Structure 1
Amino acid sequence: MDIAAQIAAFEAKRASHQARMTEIMKKAAGEGTTLDEAEQQEYDGLDGEILAIDAHIKRLKTLQKTLATTATPVAGGSTEEGAASRGGQRIEVRGVNLPKGTAFTRYAMALARSKGNLMVAAEIAKSWKDSTPEVETVLKAAVAAGTTTDATWAKPLVEYTNMTSEFAELLRPATIIGRIPGLRMVPFEIKIPRQTGGSTVGWVGEGKPKPVSALAFDQISLGRAKTAGIVVITDELARASSPSAEQVVRDDLIAQTAQFLDTEFVDPDNAAVTGVSPASITNGVTPVVASGTDADAVRADAKQLMANFLAANLSLAGAVWIMTETQALGLALMMNPLGQREFPDISISGASGGTWLGLPVILSENIPAQVAVTGPPAIPAGSRIILAKASEILLADDGETMLDVSREASLQMDSAPTDPPAAATVFVSLWQMNLVGIRAERYINWGKRRPGAVQYITGAAYQ
């Protein structure tokens, strides 16, 4: 691309950015609101790119004038000979505005297309060298052996770590766990002492014996629990190099993992399975059953919930509400007899739900709904509103998603595979069917330091 064409391309890109910025501001003006967090980031990012584009266009125009004054006559009898006689400098424009997770996904696609051959995968990754050169670097680093004293290993190792972290960064904001501030991070398989009983102190008369007591302790630890999922795609899809094929793989892994972790974290029916999975933070908690649907019932139920919290000697400082967007909408639209909002601080825009009764709100539609129970006690159908003290919830998470790819395995194409396989189990050969299996695994575990750290309202249908 010659300099004039580059200038034209950058000017077109600048015009596109400017149009998008205008569109964002017009939308906010039409709704009478300020920009939300995502819109602010997009607007500021576009503004920064325009400044960079303006500076680059200025440099290109200066270079264009310089080359025009130093141009030399063209020699030779053909276009190739003329270009060779004139020489010049090649200028490349590389794309940098790729979605987060692109490098990780391309790494997976390269492994799939190469049938697990790392050398072939590195060659495939060369087609993305301009936009994601780290993919080729990682694959090449994986081919050669190395030691901890190898001076050439450090840079590829850092790039590999950054690329897997990029995927984790894209996943975590989509989950409840990733949006709760103040969770207590702990290592896997480390014992944590916990006091369960205190000493005894009382009034003693003159010359009377003093009471002797003992403290009570136990230990809690978070073992290694693992989530895993396999996505099977056709060889044709794996070979496609368009962004849409990459988006299919990335979105499916992210959406399924996020939904699973959200549900497992808050579903009261999710009990612990020794050596396999932790209990949800609401499991074993006696809920407050919603007493009605109007504002008076809301306040009465929330008061009872907070009273349970305080009765466990836990401060409300650092606690958060976790609820569905549907229930947040019902609370946000509640009006008093004067036509004023009952709870003006609650919001349904963006990942944050604002505040409710002075505490932050986390929104997620992955909270399982309460089905009607005839009792006793009778529980109406509705949603669940959870109150959790973040600092009293332990979280062990290595923050990495491990990836493996196979074309030769045989799989049970079932979301609940039998273990061990039954006699009638049908296995599908990936090799025979021209399929590619991509497996993602993540180690994560959680638990409550104290039983009373989480309370919830069930059967809520406030509106």
Structure 2
Amino acid sequence: MRITALKTSLAAVVASMDGMLEAAANDNGRDLTAEEQTAFDAKAEEAKGLQAKIAQEEQLLALKSSAATPVTVPGGTTTTANQPGTVPAAVAEKIEPGAMVGRVAIAIAATGGQDQRAMAAHAQGIWGDQTGQIVANMEQSTATKGGYLVDTAYSRDFIGLLRPRVVVRNMGARSVPMPDGNLSMRKQTGTSQAGYVGEREPAPTTGFPVGELKMSAKTLRAIVPITNQLIRRASFGVDAMVRDDLVTSAAIKEDQQFLRGVGSATAPAGLRTLIPAGNVLTISADTSLETVTSDLGRLRLKVINANVPMAKCGYIMSPTVAMFLENLRDANGNKAFPEVAEGRLGIYPIGITTSVPDNLGAGGNESEIYFGDFEQFLIGDTYQVTLAASTEAAYVEDGQVKSAFAQDETLIRLIEEHDTQLRYDSAFAVLTGVTWKP
């Protein structure tokens, strides 16, 4: 609903204002600079505007409620005023997480996405009144021609399904709301300073050195072809199938980008790009148990020595490197790291993904291992999924251009927006040049 999105936007604006004041308070309790005060005042005006819009929406909802009439049933129990009986409110259907995105996609595809009433009627005919009402109340996207915004609550469900499929999300990355597409907050750039002093001696600065962290929404597009025969026969179960195809398509790209994406004005930076140069380490020349253990220790120590909170630490590596560590044995033939088979290395969990390549380096035989506190990896999500459909567009599959019309398919295009940043610059380290293979 619109009011939900407005309240989410208001919360983000208030959080940004709070961040400005907190940064100044941590900087010896100073006042806001002229530039900061201007930005703060602008946010305050934005908040007032959102409050006014929320008030309008609440007023409209109250009027709709007062104007609502009960549904009558022929032969139902009559009231004391001898009026027809009414149907008690039905219990809302419990929908699988993300399935509503699949239902909306099918409704758009089945009707061409031009007539919202037809879309709502189609959805109602297959899945009932609740889904039909949700489709009827969707807003058209102003940024995507022919696209429709999925309700924020169902968009959140869909994005939540990406967590187990995207290794950075699954390792504990923190998702923060970015409803208006932008977010500014402070980040830690170094460790605190403290010391003992004598009487009347100035105390050292004890606050953490901070900098400014900015995120702006980057657009991820995922295209999934669906056969028109499947759409024509849509029923319970097909919505989950379409949802899963959309999740898989988005997750594959997120996994790749969040790890090794270079970052640009249109794409978020990946972990490899965000890690500072001083935290990029190189493996030793040989692959003995002693050097492997030493290299892993150096990697972990780089993060520990930066005084990182170590709240949700873990490793990310390729399946090849994980298999090497699982099979590595000591001089007595015992497995050196038996816990790798259980998904951890020492006490820390391992995230394994093919999005970490094994063909890096001049020889095309190198890989990387990441270690850090994933709670310091921020993913700014707008929590808004946009869907559109086309029967005429083309797509590329296995290097070949295919026509949706010729294939009797409909292309579903999903758009989600996000960005990435590190809350603490030294929260991660990477071991490069890894040539460990089983």
Please confirm whether the aligned pair reaches a TM-score higher than 0.5, indicating the same fold: yes
Deviations 1:375-426 (A, max 9, x none): xxxxx72332110212322221133422122346xx46458xxxxxxxxxxx
Instruction: Determine whether 1:192 maps to 2:190.
Output: no
CA distance in 2, matches of 1:133, 1:381: 56
Q: Which residue of 2 aligns with 1:181?
A: 172
Tell me, yes or no, if the aligned pair for 2:138 and 2:151 is still in contact at 8 Å: no
Pick aligned residue for 2:212 from 184, 201, 219? 219
CA distance in 2, matches of 1:389, 1:304: 16
- Matched residue type, 1:364: T
SS class of match (1:345): helix
Partner of 2:319: 325
In structure 1, list runs of 5 or more residues that go unmatched. 1-95, 144-158, 375-379, 416-426
Instruction: Please give the per-residue CA displacement for 1:53-78, whole angstroms capped at 9, x wherever unaligned.
Output: xxxxxxxxxxxxxxxxxxxxxxxxxx
Deviates more, 1:113-122 or 1:195-204: 195-204
Change (3 A) 1:201 1:329: closer
In structure 1, what residue type is equivalent to 2:269? A
Name 1:121's counterpart in structure 2.
119
2:365 paired with 1:372: no
Q: CA deviation at 1:200?
A: 9.2
Q: Is 1:108 the counterpart of 2:92 in the alignment? A: no
CA distance in 1, matches of 2:376, 2:238: 42
In the alignment, the residues of structure 2 paired with residue 449 and residue 272 of structure 1 have an alpha-carbon distance, to the nearest angstrom, of: 17
Query: Displacement of 1:299 after TM fit?
Result: 0.5
In structure 2, the residue corresponding to 1:403 is in which secondary structure?
strand
Aligned partner of 1:405 in structure 2 is 389
Residue in 2 that maps onto 1:281: 271
Q: Are the equivalent residues in 1 in contact too, given 2:168–2:259 (CA < 8 A)?
A: no
Q: Give the letter for the 1:366 counterpart.
A: S
Instruction: Please give the alpha-carbon distance, in whole angstroms, between the structure 2 residues aligned to 1:126 and 1:186.
Output: 31
Report how many aligned residue pairs link the two structures: 324
Structure 1 residues 75-118: Cα deviation after superposition (integer angstroms, max 9, x where no partner):
xxxxxxxxxxxxxxxxxxxxx99965444323211221111233
Residue in 1 aligned with 2:250? 257
2:318–2:352 contact (8 Å) kept in structure 1: yes
SS of residue matched to 2:351: strand
- Say if 1:183 and 1:392, in contact at 8 Å, map to a contact too: yes
Match of 1:389 among 370, 373, 386: 373
Superposed CA offset, 1:424-445 (max 9, x none): xxx9986798652311011111
Instruction: Sort the Cα spacing of 1:225 and 1:166 in 2 relative to 1 into closer, same or farther, 3 A.
Output: same
Name structure 2 gaps, 5 residues minimum. Answer: 1-92, 140-149
Deviation at 1:262, TM superposition (A): 0.8
Structure 1-normalised TM-score? 0.58
C-alpha separation in 2, matches of 1:347 and 1:201:
43
For each residue in 1:156-177, what CA deviation from the matched residue of structure 2 results, as whole angstroms up to 9, or x when unmatched? xxx9554433332333221113
Partner of residue 52, structure 1: none
Q: In the alignment, what sits opposite 1:165?
A: 156
Question: What's the TM-score once normalised by structure 2's chain length?
Answer: 0.61
Distance in 2 (alpha carbons) for counterparts of 1:414 and 1:242: 28
- Could you tell me which of 337, 344, 357 is aligned with 2:346? 357
Tell whether the 8 Å contact from 1:403 to 1:438 is kept in structure 2 after alignment: yes
Deviation at 1:191, TM superposition (A): 2.3
Of the two, which has the highest radius of gyration?
A: 1
Are the equivalent residues in 1 in contact too, given 2:124–2:133 (CA < 8 A)? no
1:196–1:110 distance in 2 versus 1, CA, 3 Å: closer
One-letter amino acid of the structure 2 residue matched with residue 318 of structure 1: K
1:139 to 120, 124, 135: 135
SS state at 2:341 partner: coil
Aligned to 2:27: none
Deviation of the 1:277 alpha carbon: 1.7
Matching of residue 340 in structure 1 with residue 334 in structure 2: yes
Q: 1:296 and 2:290 equivalent?
A: yes
Question: Residues 401 and 442 of structure 1 are in contact (CA less than 8 Å); yes or no, is this contact kept in structure 2?
Answer: yes
Q: Distance in 1 between matches of 2:239 and 2:358?
A: 33
Supply the distance in 2 between the matched residues of 1:133 and 1:459 (Cα, whole angstroms).
57
Cα deviation, residue 321, structure 1? 0.9
Residues 244 and 217 (structure 1), Cα distance of their counterparts in 2 relative to 1, 3 Å cut: closer
Partner SS for 2:355: coil
Equivalent position to 1:451, from 422, 425, 435:
425
SS of 1:452 mapped into structure 2: coil
Structure 2: distance between partners of 1:164 and 1:184: 14
Instruction: Quote the Cα distance in structure 1 between the aligned partners of 2:193 and 2:227.
Output: 68
- The one-letter amino acid of 1:134's match is Q
Taking structure 1 as reference, are residues 217 and 388 closer, same or farther at Cα in structure 2, changes over 3 Å only? closer
Measure the CA separation in 2 of the matches of 1:314 and 1:127.
Answer: 54
Q: Secondary structure at the match of 1:173?
A: coil
Per the TM alignment, residue 302 of structure 1 is displaced from its structure 2 partner at its CA by 0.8
Q: Name 2:262's counterpart in structure 1.
A: 271
- Say if 1:195 and 1:128 are closer, same or farther in 2 by CA, change over 3 A: closer
Amino acid at match of 1:361: I
Could you list the per-position Cα deviations for residues 287-327 of structure 1 after superposition, in whole angstroms to 9, with x for gaps in the alignment? 32332334222211112212322443435453211123332
Deviation string, structure 1 residues 169-198 (Cα, Å, up to 9, x no partner) = 333221113312263636452322346579
- Distance of aligned partners of 1:382 and 1:99 in 2 relative to their CA distance in 1, 3 Å threshold: farther
Q: 8 Å contact 2:126–2:235 — kept in the other structure?
A: no
Q: Provide the C-alpha distance between the structure 2 equivalents of 1:362 and 1:432, rounded to a whole number of angstroms.
A: 41
Query: Which one scores higher on RCO, CA 8 angstroms, separation ≥ 6?
Result: 2
Give deviations 1:217-252, integer Å, cap 9, x for gaps: 542211111211223445344323367865664343
In 1, distance between residues paired with 2:161 and 2:175? 21
**Alpha carbons of structure 1 residues 326 and 212: separation in structure 2 relative to 1, 3 Å:** closer
